[in-house]
Amino acid sequence: MKTAFDDPDFEFKVRSTPYPPIHEIQFRVATTDVGAIIFFSAIAFSILITVTASYVVVERITMLKHMQMISGMRLSSYWIANFIFDALKLYVCIVAMVVIMTAYEFYFESALVVLFLFPFGILPFTYVTTYMFTVDSAA
């Protein structure tokens, strides 16, 4: 403008005032973070369940459970011990996830209830579905 008007004393000020972010943009930013947490936690839980299913199939194929039952172990104590150990493995992952959610200030009380009840739903389902497999790599 100084050159166009040939006025060396010409000056102007620019002021930029952006509009406040709309609700939809704020919602997208918040759900992107939650979506990443859901995605990575789903991968972690699926790997843990795969390891659990694979171990049960290997025990059935190699007849380890049968040998333990011949030695005098009751079937109920076998499944209860497996359930407790597998639940503890899952709870380590769940507690880590809750710590991360707390560190990043994601507070979902209903998600906590679902997370802490998750092993009681997935482990019996995993134990039942392992009977469909005859090879541990397929489980």
Tell me the per-residue pLDDT of 54-106, one tens digit each, with 9 for 90 and over: 988 988 888 888 888 888 888 888 889 999 999 999 999 899 888 888 887 77
pLDDT at 110 over 70: yes
Phi, psi of 43 (to 5 degrees): -65, -45
Stated pTM of the model: 0.69
Burial 54-74 (b: 16+ CB within 10 A, else e): bbbbebbeeeebeeeeeeeee
Domain ranges of the chain: 36-132
CB 136 within 8 A of CB 57: yes
The rounded distance, in Å, linking the Cα atoms of 134 and 139 is 8
